[in-house]
Chain A
Amino acid sequence: MRLTRFVLAGCFCAALTGVQVMDVGAQPGPRGGIYSKPYISGDNPVRMGGYADIEFIYDIPADASQSGANTFDQHRLIPFMFAEITDAMTFSTEIEYEHGGDVEKDGEIKVEYMIIDYRFTDPFQFRAGIVLSPLGRFNLVHDSPVNDLTDRPLVNRFIIPTTLSEAGAGLFGVAYPSDMAVFNYEVYVVNGFDEGIIVDTLGTVRVRSGRGSVKQDNNQNKSLVARTSYSPRLGLEIGLSAHHGKYDDGGTDNLTIVAIDAEFRRGPLELQLELAQVATERSHLGLSRQTQFGYYLQGNWHFLQDKLLAGSTFTGVIRWDWVDFGKKGDPDDKLARLTLGVNFRPVERAAFKLDLQTNWRESPGAPNARQDHRVLASVATYF
């Protein structure tokens, strides 16, 4: 009896999973029903992948006699799916599980991007969905395994709220002006930011808090986000991007973010720079326009390639972060961070990272800017 149950259950499950790739044209049910969906027919393969990371953070106490706060953080588990519908049409999505997913107090699950692309020609391609906003370079290349430090740059947290993705549609493309050069562009109409960028009654602006809904625009004015980049030769790229549109419910005030980014690579050396400024009109609050600014500059040096393992490399990293919130006199008016890091990549797509951060919170005229130190260790990999 037990054996019979065992065999029957096994056969049932084998049949269930095997049916995914069967030609099921003769299956019961209406046309377009469960068994006639294209993903079951097997002629529409879907690629799955993703990345994951785990971090350990230790706040070094100012007083050596005390123990510092420390914690593990399973920060991101990000499955990807990709399908080529036709030669010209693709579907791609990234679903984000942060801090364990949608659990009490922290964590979230959301669609980070979901795009349907249609290529007319290489320079002229259509994209619609939840697009990854082309605002600065880092927002487009933000995966943990790619980045050589554990934490993202401050400017990409407070001025460009990475990861910024918005519901919309537009065009993108690539052109080759010469044998050596590449020109890329992306331009989309999107829902844009909402009033959440104003975080208190004093009119304090934090753009991160006002990332717009992908379901419902809060006003009838769409925003425009675009980036162009030019690479005169391999190893050098300069990008210019902007996001502009009304953000308040009444559709009276504009929010404009402008960013410049650059990357230089030569041999084992990489230099990265990103600057961004956000200008926020606040007339609906009876306040003047506020401008915030930030940047980061990062240098990477690859060394000991293939020494420990074939295909492996170490990378030494130094990054300087700076953000000015434009509220002169406020104790938290400016943030600065110096990070020194080293990471080991057994293969290109995985990294073991160790970083030492020094953070400053500083106000102009303040005699004692606050300073703290943190150690971050993390592992990140694509799968």
Chain B
Amino acid sequence: MSIDIDSYLELLQAACVIVLSAYLIIRSRYFAETLDKTPSKKSLLVLALFFGAVSIYGSLMGIRMMQAIASVRDLGPLAGGLFCGPVVGTGAGLIGAAFRLSQGGFTAGPCAVATLAAGLLGGLIQMRTRRFLGVPTLVGLAVLFEVLHMVLTLILARPFPLAMQAVEASMGPMVLANGAGMLVFAIVLSNYLAERRTQAERDRYLADLERERAEREVAAEIQMGFIPKSLPEIPGFSMAAAIRPALEVGGDFYDFPPWEIGQPEAHPGQESLGLAIADTAGKGVPAAIFMAHSRTVVRACISQASGPADALALANRLIEPEAGAGMFLTMFLGSLESDGHLRYANAGHPHSLLFRSGSREVVSLEVTGIALGLSLAGRYEERNTRLLTGDALVLYTDGLSEALNGGGEQYGSDRVRRSIASYAHLPAAEILDGIISDWQAFCSGQPQFDDLTILVVKADQA
């Protein structure tokens, strides 16, 4: 068995043409349409012409192997049928068969029949299976088909002894060449299918990201829609507030609910200002909607209540039945009068601090009941205190105290207290700035997952 250099080059050339054409057609949009099972008539026509052309190339390019000519004429129609269905397979088969007939020779008839049969058979198999059969199966089918081709030649070609001779000479090379050709097509297709899967996964992932981003925006928009646009003014006090939605928007809010009731007869001539800060459990749109709902309920309850504790108790009874999926919110609710008198009730909101200028101490305004929405059995007590000149009330949410630095260390309420103590002599806006800049210095560069909400009331001249 000897193959000269020219044969090798021919073989290489044929292989290159097959690889390139397989690559080009499988990555064309016509082919993609058949994979999506929505091929247009035009696509089917283009594909049939293409696989037909591969068949013609196979006829023209007889590959000399083992001192015989191996044709890959059947490869195009077979692959076209197996990959794109009976229409493309039959079309390509007809083209290949017509060309082979035009070449003449005593095996022209059997070869033309075999080429048409390749397209038909491939298409029928594709119709039955409707999926990628895998590289080994496809190669196996190509090999089997070439054997069939030989049988056809023996049956149809005359005279028989010549046919026998032709089959003996070309059987090995034909089987090898068509098997190898199918291997190329199958590998290119297999790679392409894997790539499509990866791409589909990536598209899904990107779509998810986009949806999450959109949801975050909606949540932040709902949340910000319920945050007071301006700060109230109450003589003798300065105020400052900040809210910064985090990566995952929660349901923090602060509010200055109108506080017309209370007991005006007890403090005649005093202006009263509502003060509220709240942290809704959970994240995203559900938390934002729950926040909006709760804020409205609390505002409505204030107008019916005798004071902060009563308002929280009423609100809890309305919120609890609506609090699905474990929703709840912690809230500090107070009313501040212009003489510095602060009445408050605290529904599970531990981040409520008061700087006393006299003792220079930061004290906690204790929790006086459980968070809203947890249990109908919630009871709330009221506390009274007085803001004296120089005192500062700082209400915040856990986004401040529970932030982490690069080392995984939590900011903690002690650092918040130290910040407050060191800036408490300043007006409210500067206390707020100081608290935030200390906090930023601690957790610089770390993404913050929780909303940051701070409300500062400074008694400049109570």
Partners in one complex: no
